[in-house]
Structures are given as structure tokens and as C-alpha cells.
Amino acid sequence: SIPMLQAAKKRNSLNLPELTEAELEEQFVRGDGPGGQATNKTNNCVVLKHIPSGIVVKCHQTRSLEKNRKIAREILKEKVDLFYKGEESDVYKEQKASEKKKQEKKRRAKENLERKKLFKEMQQLDKK
């Protein structure tokens, strides 16, 4: 269970598969969530389906239909890459590296907190 992809990142270094328009099925629907009239009256949410794999992506990150189309394609590329390559995927490897980095940062913060507690205890003992 990997946290799903952070969309629209610059992933120029990754070797993602190219998707042809013939493999894609695109729909424009009303988005959901906050936004009131701006959301309720416009069909700027993009639903993109990769027909060969059956992967479906829904994107409503911006108010612009064109930007949402572009972002949806990037997300779909990443998901298709992950679907076909699995653990060999660059996306998977990048996520694992990011997860490891986050855990290391958390561990260091915990160690620093422990050091601070010990330091304060030592100071209190010295005062007595």
C-alpha cells in the first residue's frame, strides 16, 4: 500500500511510458468538494481511462480544464508505469526513497528531543 502519487510534479528524470490518444477515453464531469458555484456550474473535472489496463484517473485540481487534462495525463502515466512495472518502476523507487527519507528525518527529530530532555535533566541536577 503505497501513498498515491503527488500529481503534477516535475518528473523529467523518470522513464514513463508514452500514452497514445487511441488508448485513452476522456470525459468531462462536474467536480465535487468546496468551491460553490464555480464548481457546481462547470464541467472542468477530467476523468481519464486507460483502456488496455482499465486504470481510471479523476483530476479536479484546478479550475482550468486544460490544466486538469494535462495533470490527469501525467498521473495516468505514473499509474500505468506502476501497473506494468510494479517494484521495478521508477515511480515506485522514488516513493520508497521519499518514504525512507521521511522516516530518517522522524528518527533524527526523536533523537534530538531525547537529547534535549537529558540535557534539561542534567541542568536541574546541577542546580541542586
pLDDT digit string, tens, across residues 76-122: 988 888 888 888 877 788 888 889 999 999 999 999 999 999 999 98
Rg, the chain, Cα only: 22
Model confidence band, residue 3 (pLDDT cutoffs 50, 70, 90): very low
Residue boundaries of the structural domains of the chain: 21-86, 89-127
Q: Which of 36-40, 101-105, 122-126 has the highest mean pLDDT?
A: 101-105
Give dist(CA 49, CA 26) in Å, integer.
6
Strands of 55-59's sheet in order across: 24-29, 45-50, 55-59
Q: Is the pTM of this model over 0.95?
A: no
- Looking at CATH, the fold of the domain delimited by 21-86 is given as Double Stranded RNA Binding Domain (3.30.160)
